[in-house]
A and B are shown apart, each in its own frame.
Chain A
Amino acid sequence: MNFDLSKTQKMLQDASRTFFQRECPIAKVRELIDSEHGHDSALWTRIAEQGWTGLTLPEEHEGLALSLVDLAVVSEEIGHCCLPSPFVATTWASSLIDSSGNAELKKTLLPSLALGESIATVALLDEDSDWNPATVTMSATSSDAGVVLSGSKRLVLDAGVADTLLVVARIQDDLVIAVVDKTASGLRMEPTPGMDLTRRYYQVDFENVSAEILASGAEAEAALKRSIQIGAIVACADLLGGMEWVLKTTVEYARSRQQFGKAIGSYQAVQHQCSDMLLMNESARSATYYAAWALHENDPAGDEAVGIAKAYCSEAARLVGNSGIQIHGGIGFTWEHDLHLYYKRAKSNEYLFGDPSHHREQLAQLIIN
């Protein structure tokens, strides 16, 4: 057993850290925040050139066929620089396609996603549902070409720049995943800005929209579950990278800021908060990388490990953020300081792919039943 990153994983870590520091300094983040879609297609192309848009996809579909641990490594760096991009949406969507058994659609959709030539997202949540796909109610009717969709989806990530939407609906009791092209007639979307300035959410309405079927029934359920778990790993790693940034920034500040003639970092009330931030950061790291590994290996503990990581990292990032702001004092409460960008992103990550209560309930089912 070896918990250390392998040599090639460490190289990936260095490469992605250097890349994002160069390509996405905080000034760039702020510029993207003010743009319409929070997305820079030229930067996206450069990310794709590194292969990171197809990191875990099979080689036959232009992917790098790397592991979920590698995906966590890159996602951590993305979180560390707070990159606004459709990375989460596209990774979720491509994992969903890849986890299905639909060879034909894999061939048509995956290569352009892997190469960064197209962007996709998943529309899961409807009016009453939560992150458990069993609670989705949006209904679809069968048609010659596949299905016809009517209804609404909320909190759809990056729908504004997505070429393809994967819509989760239901034909009677059967779950179905439908592939909707952005040009389809009857499709309407409205931005629903959230607290997180680095991510774009949309309300998407469907009125008799025709779509192809990616998967249905048990196959759709299994593919969705897997892709949501992969999404949760990405979110955890993103949280981890953000926490790391907050911790580092806060410790540096505590060392340099002087009050009462001494560095505030020499006061225990400040020191102890920093120590707790480190403790949470380290715990989040253990949980995230273990989950990535276990899910990749199809280890029996995989389901449990993902839930543990998502529940823990979500809360840890919030608490680390709380202390980070507190230790900065007034400047930490300003729009000008970058802390709030991370703090707000942590909140959207907290909800994405299920919040702590959701995962604790899933965990309870595993350990009680």
Chain B
Amino acid sequence: MDLNLTESELKFRDDLRAWLKENLPEKPIKAESDNDPEYWNALRDWQKQMFEGGWAGVTWPKEFGGRGATSIEAGIYMEEMAAFDAPERVGTIGEGLIGPTIMAEGSDEQKEFFLPRILNATDIWCQGFSEPNSGSDVASLATKAVLDGDDFVVNGQKIWTSYAKVADWCLLLVRTDNDAPKHKGISALLVDMKSEGVSVRPLRQMSGESAFNEMFFTNVRVPAKNLIGKLNDGWRITITTLMNERANLGSSIYIMFKNNLDKLLGRMKELKRGGIRLADDPINRQKVAQMYLELEIFKLTTNRALSKIAKNATPGPEGSILKIYWSEMNQRFVQSTMEILGDQAQLQDFDDGSWVHAYLRSRGNTIEAGTSEIQRNIIAERVLGLPRSY
């Protein structure tokens, strides 16, 4: 066991630090309203700037325009981005989920066309999996695609699709064989969101904003060459994507938690309640220390997982452990934050309503990317080897 960074890991870190010092935007990038175009443009610019500096797709192989970094370096990347309070990455779905899926399963033509556009933020992607009647049991999906000449014709509805309103492309799961068992009749299509017959309706979240959407497909023609992998082999591809999703989401999310915790510590030093500084209250100190230690352990377990991925190449079902860990940790965090800051934390104009938003948004964490219940089923059955429950 040696947790010191190797020479090349140190160089990676120092190069990134030097680049961030030069290039970090002076003002934080913030949205004025839902789907504020300036916000998205600014994020695209930032992604593009990172790409040009060689800091987008760091774990992607060099042949696909990435940096060829190791999984350990990816961990360093997430830590440094946190330390520098860097803006949100607009490309995370494309870079973390869609890109690796195209690399693993896509045709040469698809790789050539799509991969560079993901890295330089030409294309923002969304993930069209869930449907009104197919959530946890996504393999039961009903959106239908029928081959007609050189095109698939797609009809159906997707729901809860994050980024659909701003996305250029969608990885869409469709049913291409009605008679086969449910897992065997699914295919994955790469769909241009500007195609005729695609309509997107924002859905308002309980946290106020509209980050997810409904998507309707009415006789949408998708060129057959945009099928990824083989016909009716979409389920296997979905699993690849979902594993990447679980392994990935945590990394970028560490950034957010760390910044929030620092912000909370700052507030605790400034504000008083009942005549004493929040930071001097022994109960508050216990709570914030607990938050801090849980977050640090999250980083350590992530690093251990990265150490393992470095050897085995793909993330395994252990990703479910990290998914449960961070999502439930965040829910405990926001509760503790509300307790520590007290009654003012409920106000929309206190710290721009950021605590209110964090508190409410956290409820989605244990639902998105596979619910906590589904993750626990996966661990019980695939890691611990307990008998299947269904």
Contacts and interface: CB of A to CB of B under 8 A. Distances in A.
B1 A361 contact: no
A169 to B, nearest CB: 28
A308 interface: yes
Interface string B113-138: 00000000000000000000000000
Interface stretch (B18-26, B99-107, B380-388): B380-388
A43 interface: no
A312 B380 contact: no
A265 B288 contact: no
B209 interface: no
Contacts of B282: 361
Most chain B CB inside 10 Å of its own CB: which residue of A5, A69, A265, A286? A286
A364 B286 contact: yes
B1 A9 contact: yes
Interface in A1-55: 1-6, 9
Nearest to A265: B386
B81 interface: no
B324 A279 contact: yes
Contacts of B294: 312
Given A1-B5, A268-B373, A364 B386 contact: no
B297 to A, nearest CB: 5
B2 A6 contact: yes
Given A2-B307, A3-B303, A363-B293, A278 B321 contact: yes
A368 B384 contact: no
B33 interface: no
A272 B376 contact: yes
A359 B296 CA distance: 14
B300 interface: yes
A268 B377 contact: yes
Residues of A contacting B: mostly: helix
Contact of A251 (B9, B303, B384): B384
A263 B387 CA distance: 7
A220 to B, nearest CB: 27
A138 interface: no
A141 interface: no
B379 A278 contact: yes
A182 to B, nearest CB: 38
A333 interface: no
B201 to A, nearest CB: 34
Nearest to A3: B307
A312 B3 contact: no
A360 B289 contact: yes
A3 B379 CA distance: 22
A254 interface: yes
Most chain A CB inside 10 Å of its own CB: which residue of B265, B297, B379? B297
A230 B198 CA distance: 62
Interface string A344-369: 00000000000001011101100110
Interface stretch (A77-85, A122-130, A287-295): A287-295
B297 A286 contact: yes
B307 A311 contact: no
A254 B381 CA distance: 12
A275 B379 contact: yes
Given A263-B387, A279-B321, A312-B297, A271 B304 contact: no
Interface of B: 1-6, 9, 72, 75, 265, 268-269, 279, 282, 285-286, 288-290, 292-294, 296-297, 300-301, 303-304, 307-308, 318, 321, 324-325, 373, 375-377, 379-381, 383-389
Interface of A: 1-6, 9, 69, 251, 254-255, 262-263, 265-268, 270-272, 274-276, 278-279, 282-283, 285-287, 289-290, 293-294, 297, 304-305, 307-308, 311-312, 357, 359-361, 363-364, 367-368
9 contacts: A3-B3, A268-B377, A268-B389, A272-B376, A272-B380, A294-B3, A363-B292, A364-B285, A368-B268
Query: Which 10 residue pairs of A and B lie closest in terms of their CB atoms, listed nearest first?
Result: A271-B380, A364-B285, A360-B289, A286-B300, A275-B379, A3-B307, A265-B386, A266-B387, A363-B289, A275-B376
Given A266-B386, A361-B289, A364-B285, 12 more contacts: A1-B75, A3-B1, A268-B377, A282-B304, A282-B321, A283-B297, A286-B297, A290-B300, A308-B293, A360-B285, A361-B285, A367-B265
